[in-house]
Structure 1
Amino acid sequence: MKLYREDEGTGRPLLFLHGWGTSGRVWGAQLPEFIRDHRVVTLDLRGCGRSPRPSQGNTIDANVEDLAEVASELGKPVIVGSSIGGLYATELALRHPDLVERVVTVGGPAYWPSTGMLDKVLALREALVTDRAGTLAGWLPNWFAPRTSPALIDWTLRQVLDSGVYIDELFTDCTRYDPRPRLADLSVPITYVHGELDAEIPLEVPRACAALTPGAELIVIDGSGHLPHQERPLAFNAVLRKVLGED
């Protein structure tokens, strides 16, 4: 699928992947920092932002294959993925390690069935059908740490409401997803970056994943919720520089 992308700068390629329902715009605080010395590509994933919104194929498999095509064009990028974008990045590295230099997951990946979140995800999908706007307005503040700017929360809500409804299919896929049995086979370097106050994906999730992944590192960003690249961008940028070996 031809995804909307923005491609700026030159040098070592970085591919940034947003989370469920948002868009490549969420990386606005990273672009000025990293385009100075990198080729930086941001995407709108299928069903989101300015990309096509197909009624079929809103699955983990289809999204990973979309990204395999992009990564092959870029020549082994470092992939930085937020939330479900981190899931896609991890899966791409597991399935196509030759296409990825390094993975940085931000607030992900997750394994819902065994973390007490399965019922929540199933109830959420049902509620999105009956009252999409109200459900999202009640849920999205939970993505952020307390005292986050209401303007940031509102802007995030508008992005999700503007995305296609067919992306809800991903919730069904995610209820069956668990990467842990395969993480020992991950040959691509990976760093798990997680907000200290993440109320969406418990900190126990990246801790467990890091413990199962050879050579993995977990970095916790203090005072942040599920989206540290937006909530604490300067701290996040410094962490990413460190992970890239460029601090």
Structure 2
Amino acid sequence: MLHFTTYKQDKHTEWVTFVHGAGGSSSIWFRQLRDFRKHFNVLLVDLRGHGKSKKPIYEKLKEYTFDKIGDEVIEVLDHLQIRSTHFVGISLGTIIIREITERYPERTRSMIMGGAVMKLNLRGQILMRLGVLLKSVVPYLLLYRFFAFIIMPRKKHRESRNLFINEAKKLYQKEFKRWFTLVAEVNPLLKWFRIKDAGIPTLYIMGSEDHMFLPSITKLVQDHDSSELFVIPDCGHVVNVERPDVFNNKAIHFLQQLD
């Protein structure tokens, strides 16, 4: 089972489950914990191969698909007897949340998608394909640094960039390659998501400088009645790290309005 951490008030309080992105870990939510714990039960998970989910079983699993990764999150929910939860995700974690919600809508009360990935633009697709070709000959950390810089290029994004690079250093090289290959195949899955409206209350929190992903999210929200977009000015991809106060206030207000 994935490693997880809980912060529980009581059985009557609603749950919020945080899902990190590729190369990160549950530690990236440290600036959310204090605020969210005041209002909700909180569940943090480390996805396979990340954080403290590095047991030998995950090293041996070679089949990496989004549905299998989603089922591992569901396994944790079942273990904790959490019937339904609000999900909060960042970057690739938003894809995992959406995939879970498509198959198990009854488990999702709402989705908060930070730095959401819903389409790789042409530049992103070319870069990912290039990365797949080079992953066996270029040191994986060099490759990760390159893509972190492409997604978070500005000087003000340095903290977020360094945080993800430092977390990626903790990954095994084989683990990194498996996740990288999974991300490179993401567009067909996202196309299916864009066609469907899950009907679950959804808040997208994006940075105005997240040029690789913001345009597709803007169009997506226009087409889906159950979705709302909030753009943080002068902010890049990793919105929960760059502007945690704005992120927390907007997300918690959104959840409280659902009551």
Deviation, structure 1 residue 135: 2.0
- TM-score normalised over the length of structure 2: 0.85
| Offset at residue 206 of structure 1 (A) | 0.7
Q: 2: CA distance between counterparts of 1:181 and 1:194?
A: 18
Structure 1-normalised TM-score? 0.89
State the number of aligned residues.
244
1:156 aligns with 2:168: no
> Please, which moves more after superposition, 142-151 or 208-217?
142-151
Q: Is the 8 A contact 1:7 1:39 kept in 2?
A: yes
CA drift of 1:41 comes to: 0.8
Superposed CA offset, 1:95-151 (max 9, x none)? 111111001111123223x64422111112333332212222233234436233645
Counterpart position of 2:37: 35
CA distance in 1, matches of 2:77, 2:199: 17
| 1:74/1:152 CA distance change after superposition, 3 Å | same
Q: For the Cα contact (< 8 Å) 1:122–1:171, is it kept in 2?
A: no
Using a 3 Å threshold, how does the CA distance of structure 1 residues 96 and 155 change in structure 2: closer, same or farther? same
Q: Are the structure 2 counterparts of residues 172 and 138 from structure 1 closer, same or farther at C-alpha, using a change threshold of 3 Å?
A: closer
Mark the runs of 5 or more structure 1 residues left unpaired by the alignment.
none
Find the aligned partners of 1:43 and 1:14 in 2 and give their Cα distance: 11
Q: Secondary structure at 1:91's aligned position in 2? A: helix
Structure 2: tracts of 5 or more residues without a match: none
Which residue in the other structure is 2:189 paired with?
Answer: 177
Identity level (%): 20
Q: Does 1:14 align with 2:16?
A: yes
Label 1:115 to 1:218 Cα distance change in 2 as closer, same or farther (>3 A).
Answer: farther
Within 5 A, what are the aligned runs for 1:1-247? 2-10=1-9, 11-52=13-54, 53-54=58-59, 55-72=61-78, 73-112=81-120, 115-129=122-136, 130-144=138-152, 146-148=154-156, 150-163=158-171, 164-165=175-176, 166-180=178-192, 183-199=195-211, 201-245=212-256
- TM-align CA RMSD: 2.2
CA 1:152–1:209 in structure 2 vs 1: closer, same or farther (change >3 Å)? Answer: closer
